[in-house]
Amino acid sequence: MAGQMMTGAEILLESLVAEGVEVVFGYGGGAVLPIYDALYQQDRIRHILVRHEQGAAHAAEGYARSTGKPGVLLVTSGPGATNTVTGLTDALMDSIPIICLTGQVPTHLIGNDAFQEADTVGITRPCTKHNYLLKDIKDVALKVREAFFVATHGRPGPVVIDLPKNITMGEAEYIRPMAVGHKTYRPIVKGKLEDVREAVQMIAAAKKPIFYTGGGVINSGPAASQLLRELAHLTGFPVTSTLMGLGAFPASDKQFVGMLGMHGTYEANMAMHDCDLMVCIGARFDDRITGKLDAFSPESKKIHIDIDPSSINKTIPVDLGIVGDVGHVLEDLIKIWKSETQRPDADALKAWWAIIDKWREKDSLAFETSDKMIMPQQAIQLLYEHTKDLDTYITTDVGQHQMWAAQHYKFEKPNRLMTSGGLGTMGYGLPSAIGVQIAHPDSTVVCITGEASFMMNIQELSTAVQHGAGVKILLLNNHYQGMVRQWQEMLHGGRLAESEMTGMPDFVKTAEAFGMVGMRAEKPSELEDVIKAMLAEDGPVIAEIETDKTIGCYPMIPSGSAHNEMLFGPRESKATKISAEGMTMV
Amino acid sequence: MGGEWAANKMNRPVTQLDQTEQRHTLAVLVDNEAGVLARVIGLFSGRGYNIESLTVAEVDAAVNRSRISIVTSGTPQVIAQIKAQLERLIPVHAVADLTVEGPSVEREMALVKVNAIGDKRVESLRIADIFRARVVDATSESFVFEMTGATDKINAFLDLMVPLGMVDVSRTGVAAITRGPNPM
């Protein structure tokens, strides 16, 4: 079949359309001029011009995470490519499928230190799932096909395609590749049935079980979240979730014991510590989750379901590892559970829930309010009250506000929380929110942020205004890099080295200067009205909330401690001695 | 100890953490494409794994396939991680841990330059003969020996050649293959 003659840039765009791409986040430059010229002459792909390439990467992540489809970004060579490195690493750590198209100098100049040349594939090799440098125009269509396959199959992740300018300017016949799949990369999606059967036996025998769920449930697709609900209800087991997994299981369900880990609930962490069976579903025993490794859930048998074989036995040795996609494994597990007419040990479970309910009574997320200062948790609770009945997506930045959002915003559905979990990228929240809003123009998108994180990619306000992305920025301003300050108070004698944010702009005026709406709440009495007013606007808004400057984020497991060594407030944390080893783990 | 680990496989229980470091030889079949060796080496350096030796060469030009042999060391848990991480690389076809997957043959080649005259020159030839090393270059004051064998044997040969005037050595690193009829 003879194909049509096209330029490399046109072949690239055809290939993107063939993958179902509708939006590309990007920033032009010399090496990608042919691609931009081709974009200009078509109307199937919408281009969202960002203000910094890092913003494009996070916007693509937000787009991907909220839709379940891969996000695409397009940047120029050299600085364009190097500016995406943080976003690529972020996507790698959180398993987000994005395709990063980078311009490159012409092939004959590669290696010559040409203007805006960087060794993009060399630089991005450790921060992508895979990357390509295309040196032959005939490869473009096939490699784009392959890149999307790699990004979205198995454990998802970022893929870079480096496109030298002579390739995008050259001409060739476009033949749509027929091949699906990959000659070497074939991830296992079905778990071994004998392993799943063994898991069913272990679940049926458990007396103090817990489901420990993570982002893998969300990455597996909406069906996996449904199956998780079904399994939880069939067994009656408590469910806890990592930050990345929030929403896969409804926060309002009485079997949900809240997020676990460093800033998780008391009941979740105690249940993890004291359980006799832990079923880890699509999570990876991150150090923010496990705390002190040798004191991690010492008495339990552990089952680990993960699509990435390298996650199993990486940090925590497990009794049964099942390599497979969460959705497929849960489906088989439920089928076998039902066909064997298994029942959980009802008496043991009743006793276990009685213990958990006692822990719950501690009400570990409780905080004191004041009539003078707004508590940040209060702002998030009110935001939840006013958005729970709307079609809402939340993004966060990184720090205290992120943990408060995770603790106090009740996520009921998957794909509704966009946050930088593994890498902890300050500056993620705003561009990610823009990506979400572009994907869901009629939904409510709120970026919960702090003033320090917000400043890291504040230029993207201009992107939001240009493209009519009506993101709502709930800016919790405590005038400090709050989480840094909290650790300095705990570990470094209260010497607040460079963690105070001074010389900051007036955020209301900043909003206005960017052509958007700004508002501010300084007293608790103003808070609710400001949140309502923020949500009532169609366009983008900054709602700056002046919060209490001094409070810390609790409860917490100090670094290097075990799950049953939680702190509930600043008084305890001052009295706590943290080992040198623990200090290095912050 | 290798046998126990073999039974464990990737996703089977590792209930007791064995902290003893073991030397393992891994064979990795990869697509011979640009950057593939950098991916493998970057994985080892980025994750802090040891490389004792690494060799790579194309083994099947028709299908563009290369074989990398890596000698590494680590606890059983680390070795399992290395294998899983290698398998995760996109251009990797297969990874075999030759140390645990049945008996295998390991060979290395060394080129050894010895500058010696008189008795030492004679002695170096005599020892080369014992080790079945071949002379591949000779001048009136030097030899270059070619010697093939297991790593230990080459080490023993070099130990003997040092006092006789060894001035230079080039080693290939280990190439390894399983015994018996089956391919990897």
The CATH number of whichever domain residue B47 belongs to comes to 3.30.70.260
Task: Check if the beta carbon of residue B40 is closer than 8 Å to that of residue B89.
Answer: yes
Domain count, chain B: 2
Looking at A483, A516, A519, A556, which residue is catalytic? A483
**B13–A308 CB contact, under 8 Å:** no
A231's enclosing H/E stretch is helix A222-235
Q: Consecutive 10-residue runs of chain A (586 residues): their mean pLDDT?
A: 87 97 98 98 98 98 98 98 98 98 98 97 98 97 96 98 98 88 88 97 98 98 98 98 98 98 97 98 95 93 97 96 98 97 95 98 94 97 98 98 98 98 98 98 98 98 98 98 96 95 98 98 98 98 97 92 89 71 78
| Mean pLDDT of all residues in B82-93 | 96
Residue range(s) defining the domain that contains residue B144: 104-177
B38 and B86 both lie in a single domain = yes
Mode of pairing for the β-strands spanning A301-306 and A277-281:
parallel
Full-prediction pTM beyond 0.90? yes
B10 lies in a domain? no
Instruction: Provide the pLDDT for residue B17.
Output: 65
List chain A residues with CB under 8 Å of B34: 133
| Domain closes at, from B37, B71, B97 | B97
Using a CB–CB cutoff of 8 Å, tell me whether A119 touches chain B: no
Spatial distance between the Cα atoms of A310 and B82, rounded to a whole number of angstroms:
8
Specify whether the CB–CB gap between A276 and A299 falls below 8 A.
yes
CATH no. for residue B164? 3.30.70.1150
Any idea what DSSP says for residue B147? Answer: E
Among A126, A183, A323, the residue with its CB nearest the CB of B11 is A323
Q: Is A372 a catalytic residue?
A: no
| DSSP H stretches of helix in A440-557 | 451-456, 461-466, 482-491, 507-513, 524-536
**Average pLDDT along chain B:** 91
Looking at chain A, which residue has its C-alpha nearest residue B41?
A126
Q: Is residue B137 part of a domain?
A: yes
Catalytic residue among A165, A208, A292, A302: A165
Residues of B in contact with A195 (CB under 8 A): 11
Residues 6+ apart with CB under 8 A from A113: none
B3 inside domain = no
pLDDT exceeds cutoff 50 at B2 = no
Kindly state whether A313 is in contact with chain B, defined as any CB-CB distance less than 8 angstroms.
yes
Token reading at A439: 């994907």
Q: Is B28 contained in some domain?
A: yes
Question: What is the nearest CA distance from A223 to chain B, expressed in angstroms?
Answer: 25
Closest residue in chain B to residue A147, using alpha carbons only: B90
Residues in chain A with CB shorter than 8 Å from the CB of B13 are: 317-320
Report yes or no: B2 and B22 within 8 Å, Cβ to Cβ.
yes
* CA diameter of chain A: 76
DSSP state of A577: -
Tell me if B153 sits within 8 A of B78, measured CB to CB: no
Q: What is the mean pLDDT of residues B125-152?
A: 97
Q: Are residues B90 and B130 in the same domain?
A: no
Question: Do B109 and B93 belong together in one domain?
Answer: no
Claim to verify: residue B84 and residue B124 sit in the same structural domain: no
**Claim to verify: residue B93 and residue B108 sit in the same structural domain:** no
Whole-number Å distance between alpha carbons of A546 and A526: 10
Given the DSSP bridges, would you call strands A209-213 and A277-281 parallel, antiparallel or unpaired? parallel
Per the annotation, the verdict on A498 as an active-site residue is no
Do B108 and B125 fall within a single domain? yes
Of A240, A313, A306, the closest CA to residue A272 belongs to: A240
Same domain? B74 vs B147: no
Sole residue written with tokens 């001052």: A574
Could you tell me which residues come within 8 angstroms of residue B43 by beta carbon, excluding any fewer than 6 positions away?
Answer: B49, B85, B86, B89
Asked, for residue B1, whether it belongs to a domain, the answer is no
Cβ contact A310–B92 (<8 Å): no
Q: A125 to chain B: which residues are within 8 Å by CB?
A: 35, 38-39, 42
- The angle at the Cα of A59, spanning A57 to A61, to the nearest 5 degrees, equals 70
Same domain, B88 and B122: no
Q: Is residue B131 assigned to a domain?
A: yes
Token pair, residue A44, equals 């199937």
Domain final residue pick, B70, B97, B124: B97
Nearest to B21 by CA among B1, B38, B35: B1
Is B134 part of a structural domain of the chain?
A: yes
**ipTM of model:** 0.92
The residue among B65, B80, B97 that closes a domain is: B97
Longest dimension (CA), chain B: 62
For residue A483, give both structure tokens: 């989480």
Task: Note whether B128 and B70 are same-domain residues.
Answer: no
b/e code A499-513 from CB counts within 10 Å (16+ = b):
bebeeeeebeebbee
Decide if B93 is inside a domain.
yes
B129 lies in the same domain as B79:
no
Candidates A474, A485, A458, A453; CA nearest to A545 is A474
Whether B120 and B173 share a structural domain? yes
Helix (H, G, I), strand (E, B) or coil at B26: strand
| Of B34, B38, B90, Cβ closest to residue A184 | B90
Cα–Cα distance, B27 to B6 (Å, whole number): 16
Is B29's Cβ below 8 Å from some Cβ in A? no
Q: Rounded to an integer, what distance in angstroms lies between the CA atom of residue A104 and that of residue A80?
A: 10
Partner residues linked to A99 by β-bridges? A72, A159
Cis? peptide before A555, omega within 30° of 0: yes
Choose the closest CB to A184 out of B12, B85, B92: B92
| b/e burial code for range A123-134 (CB count within 10 A of at least 16 → b) | bbbbbbbbbbbb
Catalytic, A116? Answer yes
Interchain contact B92–A (C-beta under 8 A): yes
Query: Do residues A472 and A543 lie in contact, with contact meaning Cβ atoms separated by under 8 Å?
Result: yes
**Contact (CB, 8 A) for A288 and A312:** no
All residues of chain B having their beta carbon less than 8 Å from the beta carbon of residue A121 are: 35
Indicate whether B138 and B77 sit together in one domain.
Answer: no
* A195 backbone dihedrals φ, ψ, rounded to 5°: -70, -40
**Pick from B14, B88, B93: CB nearest A313:** B14
